[in-house]
Structure 1
Amino acid sequence: MNPPPTPAEIAAEREPDEPPVDAEEVSRLQRIRRRAGVGHWLGVWVGRQMLRLPWLTRFSLTRKRQRPQLQNDGATYGTTLAADGVPIGYCYVPPAAGAPRRPGVVHLHGWMETKETHAETARTLSGLGHPVLMGDLRHHGDSGGPFVTFGVKERHDVDTLIDLATERGWFEPPVITVGFSTGAVAVLAHLAVDRARSSSDGPGPRVAGCAALAPMISLRRGVRWFRGMAAPQIAERWLMLGVTEAIRRAGLSFDETELRDVVKAEDRPILFAAGERGDRFTLGDQVEELHRLKTRGWTALHTVPGVTHFAVGVEAFPAILPKWEALLAVVRELCDEPACADDGSAVEAGAEVEGVRTDLHPTAERHADHQPDRRPAGDQTAAAVGDQR
């Protein structure tokens, strides 16, 4: 017999803006669990698979095909140890020869992917002059760990990768972090870790900007989206009860994956991207909500029409590049870094250099009037500035 849920367990399933749990709610959900039977254990099984299934990615055909190609291009492969001793697989892609040097990039992939899934993205960024360090999420590809934690522990692995890049001399902070889906959750959550570290240790933050491609707001919301997209025949209450139990057995909590407060508190530039809002095959609604919550500092939302969630981080990345350039311009300004000519020499902002955009606020992204925190003046609408704030 499955034990009935406690008020604390029920409260863990609720959204922050939902009313508190009362006695009637507890009684109703206890009746649901008693009737659920197989439905509840199906939910537990689904939750366990979410955490443990990614070990299959070590047999990925994309991984086997792209790895030798990346190595032929000069990429460096290896593993490094996270703070808790878990091995983290990585691939370092150096900047293209002759390209102007740009900030280093730390990249994390999505659930049931590997770093090689985003090989073309790494090549694109390398061609622009970025040294790129791609990491495998826990329990994916070359990384160890008993299960993926959906950002709870992976947020700290971002620091491990930055440390590695610095020790090897590949690049130094400040860096730009990029993530897709679960990887986007990890790099966004890492912003709070980085902010806390910089305030306690003294040195400034090691991340200058972030590109979050199709992140979910929280694991709770992610599970509900996945059910609506792939398994609408499973009753949501049973699925959520089961997945909650599986998450708890793994020593995790849904609350640890919540991103709303992280985004609200962040003033560093964040570029969001997702498929179209209202499409059940995208996380557009959740990404737009996170974008709205980012009220401090620069932010932009790029909507990619006609693609599913799973295409945003790979096939759709070329369409995101114009917004990437806008993010890079703000990062350079915040870091007091001048623009560079093709030979790597510095040029003054506003100077005319063929093929180099030295204006820190490109025409296509310019606001007619800027507030001190780079948000547009009150008479500008989101549409007028391409949904960029």
Structure 2
Amino acid sequence: MANREEKRNLETIPVGSLGIISLPGCKPLGEKVDQYLVKWRAERESEHKESLAFAGYQRESYLLDAKVPRFGSGEAKGQILESVRGTDLYLLVDVLNYSMTYSLCGNENHMSPDDHYQDLKRIIAAVGGKARRITVIMPFLYESRQHKRTSRESLDCALALQELVSMGVDNIITFDAHDPRVQNAIPLHGFETVQPAYQFIKGLLRNVKDLQLDSSHMMVISPDEGGMGRAVFFANVLGLDLGMFYKRRDYTKIINGRNPIVAHEFLGASVEGKDVIIVDDMISSGESMLDTAKELKRMKARKVFICTTFGLFTGGLKKFDEYYENGIIDRVLTTNLIYQTPELLSKPYYINVDMSKYIALIIDNLNHDASLSDLLNPTGRINRLLTKYRAGER
């Protein structure tokens, strides 16, 4: 039976015929999103379904055929192999999928974020302005870690956003942007940064039994001052206490372009005997996250759960394995918004947080020109989930 989220758009008219182009690095996610949309629209009842405004509303797939072939020199071009005229077009791109390769003068090259971003622009150029509206869904915002200028340096993320809107992109949807203020670069265009808090809580409650969700038994921890907003939201909706680490640095030295961290200092109530949830936007090498977990265990925390939207694991998984085996970390939750290695998916401590249904809901709402407010504020859904969990339902 269709639930509340899937019923909401019945009477509004779609902006245009729905089309999704999943760029090569984002195929598995695009296919899952497509399956949800096909299922919902096949089940959906509407008295207007036969009208011209709903032409092409129910299809076997909304994925359009597009590719980016490369020449032997490494140059490329974007190709769209079916009509996009008048479509409400959604482009899915994972700029961090380093598993994609191409041949460059006989050498195998792994695709960098720059390559993926360039391919996105090629596909937009191939559309040639014929789509009714273009929305880019870029879960990890390209160059979002370079979001502010601290010395004489480039502002890559802001430049990329301006470049996309100048090419005709109407909306940009991203997840857990490193600093949402980067949207100030395009103040007259649509920009949404979506928080996956509900999906994290659902993933944790479904996979871990007998959690006591109250401030006497659990705490939410921010590993640094930059992620406090995220942690405050988690703590408030779960009704838990909050703690924070800050990095004490040695400002007399510069190593690899930054001041080295001397220690992680903790601010907050005692964590002794409590389960803790460390919340952040990404695991890069994972060093500071693991240092935080180690410090919490030293302070006698009971279980340590790590929740981050993006699991880059640039330093590999060896240290995470070691910390899990030594009982320092219990579970690691990251989303499928970016490429996950088969090795990561096989780990006993790893919980894969699937975001495909959420993306499908966002696309469905936008295609109907309906409000996203309910979807972007998951407090009600989280409260219902907590009530079920406390009542012993799964």
Same fold (TM over 0.5): no
Higher normalized helix content (fraction of residues):
1
Query: TM tier, shorter chain?
Result: 0.3 to 0.5
For normalisation by structure 1, the TM-score amounts to 0.32
